[in-house]
Structure 1
Amino acid sequence: MKKIFLPIIYLLAHTALHAQFNASLESNNQYYVDDAKIKLAETEAKDRLRSNTYLTMTYKYKQFTVGAQLESYEPKALLNYYPGFKDVNLGTYYVNYNNEKGLDVTLGHFYEQFGSGLALRTWEDRQLGIANSLVGARVKYSIADNLVNIKALYGKQRIGMGFDFSNASIAAIDTEFQLAKTVGSDQFESNLGMSFVNKHEALDPNFVNAPADVNTYGIRLNNEYKDFYLNAEYLYKTKDVIKMATVVDPTNVYSGNAMNLAFGFAKKGFAFNGTLRRLENFNIYSDREMVGNQYNQALLNYTPALTKQYDYSLANIYVYQSQPQLTFFPQRKAGEIGSQFDLYYQFKKGSVLGGKYGTDIAFNFANWYGLKGKYRIYEDYNTVETKTFALGERYYSDFNVDVRKRFSSTWNTALVYIYQDYNTDRIQETSGRVFATTAVWDNIFKINKNSLKVELQHQWADSSYRNWAAGLTEFNFKKNWSVFVSDMYNYDNEEVEKQMHYYTFGAVFRKNSTRVQASYGRQRGGLLCVGGVCRMVPENTGFTLNINTTF
């Protein structure tokens, strides 16, 4: 494979002047320093300058596309990234053929998703350190004007840099049928999808009962009628290993399942959405030795937290992580069950509450529980029996109200109320429970051709970090420039030495497709979450330089 693709990368470098060549560069650099409150560990202090850089290139010729991504983690990757991200090497490379008759073939690296991603999803998120593409072959084929869509793939999953892959091979097929089209309906849409994913990994005497093959079967039905939609999905995973504390259980294997129901209604000025989901032992990894690893490496499916994704710093202190895993130690947990609901309404212009410009109001409510079950632990094996729809201990709940109002041609404001019930004991497997209330006042003022953003936040919490205050000011001027300063102050922490400011100040320059940001400040440690998927980040202080450009 390496001998095939290196000449392709060489060809890309010599075709940069052609119109069909595209490239983008992203470079995230940080120099870590010690201050009075935060100091790097001795092992980390040896490499204070760190950088993650990505050069992505594509070249398209007629029906062919060739692409590659060169990655650099020099002299070291940013703190708390997977240790396998190091040096300079190829991250991804591929050749794709796509014609107008519905045939799409890819050789090399590719990202793919079946349905909602519960059966299979590979994707890249550089902020989270996720780049879990498959490398091999994928074929997509559409029949009779997309009446039937078929995907088939085979390969190994990327882990780390260069040509490092997981031990298992992945074979999968997904089919989707447009049921409504078969009866000639143009008002009602109904799609039936079916997925099969096989993970084959050689038997290992260190894992006594671990099977060579783990299969995932899925079926889904998506329906839309006028302003309504209703989607249902069920999946089953055959027996696989689980993680116990910090190691993979070498003896016990268990099956898993997932159920997901999403429904909603939307029209101008009003929308309602709801999601119900149950996960039991449903985290899937392409390498049994990496099950439950903290870096999200070898992750083969997508089980995000179905809660509101917050834009505000204080609301992201107590953020929920989905709990699909089965474990008996240090705690007994089999998965999660819960729901999320969104309601949006717009008061019309000219009404009492709408005023001259109208008023938007949104409500969000989420509730997540563990699965209720009986756990039995014996000398040589463990068993668990769960009840399908019974609720166990509550892990997390939140309630949000978001009101957005334009008062004049130069002033937009938002008032946000957030209540969170966070079970620290179950989510982070530490101890305690936190009840937190957060209030936000967010304003944007237009000043001639410039704009000023002023944001004030406060959080009241009964335990853990206790109370916080935060603020942000950002001024955008001359179209291309922004300067900003922000601060989060944990003024009420019961541990006096932890009462500190997490401040950041910096500037941004934008021109055409180039963006450069330079800043200095302190990073609060804890969970960093994007799209409901999280990783831990350490507390640190330092200078940051981010560069993004396309050419």
Structure 2
Amino acid sequence: MKGIFSILLLLLAFHNVHAQLSGSFESYGSWYIDDSKIQLEPTETEDRIRANSYLKLDYRYHHFTAGVQVESYESKALLNYYPKFVGTKPGTFYLNYSNTKNTLDITVGHFYEKFGSGLVFRAWEDKPLGIANSLVGGKIKYKPFKSLELTTLYGKQRNGFSTDLSESTLFGWNADFKISSALKIKSSNYGVGFSYVNKHETGLDVPSDVYLVSSRGFFKRKGFSFDIEYVFKSKEALVEFETVKPQYLFDGDALLVNLGYAKKGFGINANVRRTENFGLYAERKLTRNSFNQGLLNYIPSITKQFDYSLTNIYVYQSQPNIRFEPDGNKAGEIGGQVDVFYNFKKGSALGGKNGLNIALNSSLWHGLKGRYDADERKYQADFFGFGHKFYNDYSFEIRKNINQKWTAIFTYLQQYYNAKYVEESFGEVNSKTIVWDNLYNFSGSKTLKLELQHQWADASFKNWAAGLVEYNFNSNWSVFNNNLYNYGNSETSKKINYYTLGTSYSKNATRIQLSYGRQRGGLVCIGGVCRFVPESSGLNVNINCAF
């Protein structure tokens, strides 16, 4: 730590009109408390006060930028974060050079990157999800001309703090070529992309190198858009319960197709994806349940992302991996979603005085149909075959400005959730959820938000009722009360009211929130990627600021 502070002092000492220092600070702290309904596990009772804190500093001087992120997990990380996150150490550091015309960009140290949609490779950070998957090494981006961008990288993935690295090394290159730009065509926009990623990991009697090759293309004209990507993955050993099985080798692939059309007041999008044995991790033994560590590619669930508490109880997670289990075999997934938006104009029959917005969405996901032999660990999947149904939903959302001060949103969601395949547990759930969301603006910046929710389910947690009241005194101060009551649970001891009382203060780039209550256990998802959060009760403090 002394070395870090010395570096910071030097940066400040040499700061002048030609340089710029910027940064941010985030802290998420909890004081876990037992109550009559929720108690900590015995292994967690010794450290009841915990916080995840991040100080990020970036210093720019002419064409150079240096940065460091110091991370603190004291006394330990929040519940169910990666066990290596303990103490205070540098999390990432980097040095970057970018020339005047931005045709050459070089980074050494920790860096993030994405090739294409991320299917072939993505390194990124998402603190609430516990994702800290930067690479440590070097990256070069080069634009020989405006329509072509080339990227090459080499490094090891972060596996804890800045000097904790994975056992494998990664090499990759990417090329994106905008054909329409090269031909100076302005009526449409189209191009192609190619990527190659190689993971090298020694040990065991298995191939040391696993590679992925991606080819993709896109086309946009007026309101129409189309893009497609196909990725092939070479053979890799089967992993079961974090045990590598060298005698079973499988290759894999992924296909992603996106279609869209939009014009004023109307839009429709369709997304289709098929993945087979497509999980890629920095170390063979890691799985998708390993605290989101080791992820080398990006396979989010393609479903509608809801903002309400009850609509996020039965959330779908992508299923790209192989699993051999009698009456529970799977080797990937196939499915997609369709999203439609329409705006009824003001003065129309349905639009009325202030207009009306309607959004329709449906998603469907199945396992890959094929022939499976769990005893021999063999399978043959059909390319377009639909096997066991994993998940299905239908939803519609109506947004209406009742008057100049009152906006209301009504949401209906119907879901089918197969926990046997999605969670690898048991049971199937059919649920229906309704949400009535209201926002009323008083004089000045005073606003009142009221949410009422209800969910009916035929299994699992059964019925829920939920409500949120939030009042903003002005642009700075607000108070809120959120309640989720699982009144329909078949087990009396689990009929719990998950309540949260809190207040927040915001000014410029600073926000502080203080809350007390109970956290419902389950999945927290951002952008289709999820992290499991256990039940807890206590006091929470969140601080976010930038400078």
TM-score, normalised with respect to structure 2 = 0.97
Which residue in the other structure is 1:332 paired with? 329
Which residue in the other structure is 1:61 paired with? 61
Q: 1:86 to 1:405 in 2, by over 3 A?
A: same
Query: Letter of the aligned partner of 1:64 in structure 2?
Result: F
Runs (5+) with no aligned partner, structure 1? none
Pair 1:277 & 2:278 matched: no
Q: Alpha-carbon deviation of 1:17? A: 7.7
Which residue in the other structure is 2:31 paired with? 31
CA separation in 1, counterparts of 2:171 and 2:4? 22
Which residue in the other structure is 1:369 paired with? 366
Q: Alpha-carbon deviation of 1:249? A: 2.9
Which residue in the other structure is 1:127 paired with? 128
Q: Which moved more, 1:369-378 or 1:268-277?
A: 369-378
CA separation in 2, counterparts of 1:47 and 1:431? 33
Secondary structure at the residue paired with 2:47?
Answer: coil
Query: Letter of the aligned partner of 1:98 in structure 2?
Result: S
Work out whether residues 243 and 292 of structure 1, in 8 Å CA contact, stay in contact via their aligned partners in 2: no
What are the equivalent positions in structure 2 for 1:30-429 lying under 5 Å apart? 30-101=30-101, 102-145=103-146, 147-202=147-202, 204-205=203-204, 208=205, 210-329=206-325, 331-378=328-375, 382-429=377-424
Query: Letter of the aligned partner of 1:218 in structure 2?
Result: S
Q: 1:196 to 1:392 in 2, by over 3 A?
A: same
Q: Alpha-carbon deviation of 1:412? A: 0.3
Secondary structure at the residue paired with 1:343?
Answer: strand
CA separation in 1, counterparts of 2:489 and 2:255? 40
CA separation in 2, counterparts of 1:142 and 1:151? 9
Q: 1:239 to 1:105 in 2, by over 3 A?
A: same
Q: CA RMSD in A?
A: 1.7
Work out whether residues 294 and 535 of structure 1, in 8 Å CA contact, stay in contact via their aligned partners in 2: no
Q: Deviations over 1:456-484 (max 9, x none)?
A: 00000011110000000000013210000
Secondary structure at the residue paired with 2:298?
Answer: coil
Q: Deviations over 1:223-247 (max 9, x none)?
A: 1011100000000000112321353
Q: Alpha-carbon deviation of 1:11? A: 3.2
CA separation in 1, counterparts of 2:90 and 2:238? 32
Q: Which moved more, 1:523-532 or 1:433-442?
A: 523-532
Pair 1:545 & 2:541 matched: yes
Q: 1:377 to 1:435 in 2, by over 3 A?
A: closer
Runs (5+) with no aligned partner, structure 2? none
What are the equivalent positions in structure 2 for 1:392-541 lying under 5 Å apart? 392-449=387-444, 450-541=446-537
Q: 1:254 to 1:368 in 2, by over 3 A?
A: same
CA separation in 2, counterparts of 1:220 and 1:318? 32
Q: Which moved more, 1:271-280 or 1:244-253?
A: 244-253
Work out whether residues 242 and 286 of structure 2, in 8 Å CA contact, stay in contact via their aligned partners in 1: no
Q: Alpha-carbon deviation of 1:125? A: 0.5
Q: 1:377 to 1:423 in 2, by over 3 A?
A: closer
Q: Deviations over 1:172-227 (max 9, x none)?
A: 0000111122333111111100000000111x23xx3x211000000000110111
Work out whether residues 519 and 543 of structure 1, in 8 Å CA contact, stay in contact via their aligned partners in 2: yes
Q: Deviations over 1:485-525 (max 9, x none)?
A: 01000001000110010000100001111100000010011
CA separation in 2, counterparts of 1:142 and 1:12? 31
Work out whether residues 280 and 335 of structure 1, in 8 Å CA contact, stay in contact via their aligned partners in 2: yes
CA separation in 1, counterparts of 2:57 and 2:438? 39
Q: Alpha-carbon deviation of 1:530? A: 1.0
CA separation in 2, counterparts of 1:6 and 1:259? 48
Which residue in the other structure is 1:11 paired with? 10
Q: Deviations over 1:404-452 (max 9, x none)?
A: 0001111000000000000011111111100000000000001112000
How many residues end up aligned between the 2 structures? Answer: 543
TM-score, normalised with respect to structure 1 = 0.96
Q: Alpha-carbon deviation of 1:329? A: 3.8
Q: Alpha-carbon deviation of 1:248? A: 3.4
CA separation in 1, counterparts of 2:4 and 2:489? 55
CA separation in 2, counterparts of 1:528 and 1:240? 30
CA separation in 1, counterparts of 2:470 and 2:54? 28
Q: 1:222 to 1:245 in 2, by over 3 A?
A: same
